[in-house]
Amino acid sequence: MMSNIFDLFKKIESQKATSTEPVSFIIVGLGNIGKQYELTRHNAGFLAIDYIAEKFGAKIDRVKFHATVGECSIGGARVLLMKPTTLMNNSGVAVGEAAAFYKIPPQRVLVLHDEISFDAGIIRIRRKGSAGGHNGLKSIIARLPGEDFPRIKIGIGKKPTPEYDLADWVLGKMPESDLKALRGRFDDIATASELIIKGEIDNAMAKFSK
């Protein structure tokens, strides 16, 4: 109990120390706005960043850069949390605007996104890479520009058959078992994000890309 209180005080002091500092890192969760998209596979990034916001005491409730945003302290840095309001395929519009405004290089933009190649609840951390067919990543690569930004891939489950329509799959609602698997990894995603912000991406990959 006492350790929890000390952790809370430490968190408050850390937030005070960085509250006046400029934003130096961006975490963006990818997804689609609108009630019809809630709890769909494509919104795994939104769900993960909502967890991060709650964990680090942020409210993602301001509209800026074609996104809803909030700020908090993570790993000693002032971090902008983003949920683009552009719909998935134009996510780069929001990310590009924010990065240009704060003069943040791609290496300090962390993207959380869904990945159909992995079972629900599997996560992979990458330092950089191609879009791999993901339209949200494709848009971000075009606007930053380049592929040199870290990302955390969040498994949402593979299509049941190769012939199954991709759009129908990613825009379909997740069953409760898959949601439970995803939520069971959100704390790992938050911890990995903090390590990445601290410059410890190799440590994050070693711990969580399994």
pTM for the predicted model, two decimal places: 0.87
Given 42, 66, 113, 134, the catalytic residue: 42
42 in catalytic set: yes
What local confidence, expressed as pLDDT, does residue 131 receive?
82
Domains of the chain: 23-208 (3.40.50.1470)
For 204, residues 6+ apart whose C-beta sits below 8 A from its C-beta are 125, 191, 192, 195, 196
Average pLDDT of the segment spanning 188-201: 96
pLDDT tens digits for range 10-20: 555 545 544 56
What local confidence, expressed as pLDDT, does residue 3 receive?
52
Residue 33, CB half-sphere, CA atoms under 13 Å: how many?
A: 12
